[in-house]
Amino acid sequence: MKKRFKVSLDDLPEVEHRVVEHLSDRRHISRDINQEFEKKLTFGQRLADRVAAFGGSWTFIIIFAVILLSWVLLNTVILARRSASFDPYPYILLNLFLSCSLPSKRR
């Protein structure tokens, strides 16, 4: 220790002493505050994070586009030929589904 830093370990302040010990043991000096934050999240908060991550993904966008296209094709092309479409153009039922949202909890 004295060779490298030209000072004795005993002469160092407490904080620097701990840093040197961590370095010599090859341990991390800092801690990951993201891990500490994630440990404190409730189940609802973790679930909301997963839902938000999926809602902004390309997978969700593609699935959503396929569902919309299928709805339009089903009601315009397939069922309209038989006069059996359950939501004809202008797709009022589809619009109702798309405009529904859950109320957000205000803090």
Give the model's pLDDT for residue 101: 66
Looking at per-residue pLDDT, the higher value among 30 and 36 belongs to: 36
Q: Quick check: 46 pLDDT over 80?
A: yes
pLDDT interval class at 54 (50, 70, 90): very high
| Burial (CB count <10 Å: 0-12, 13-18, 19+), residue 85 | middle
> Average pLDDT over the chain, rounded to whole?
84
Q: What percent of the chain has pLDDT over 70?
A: 88
- Average pLDDT in the 77-95 region? 88
Give the model's pLDDT for residue 105: 57
Looking at per-residue pLDDT, the higher value among 105 and 25 belongs to: 25
Round to whole Å and give the CA distance between 52 and 50: 5
Give the model's pLDDT for residue 102: 58
CB atoms < 10 A from the CB of 19, how many? 13
Q: What is the pTM of this model?
A: 0.57
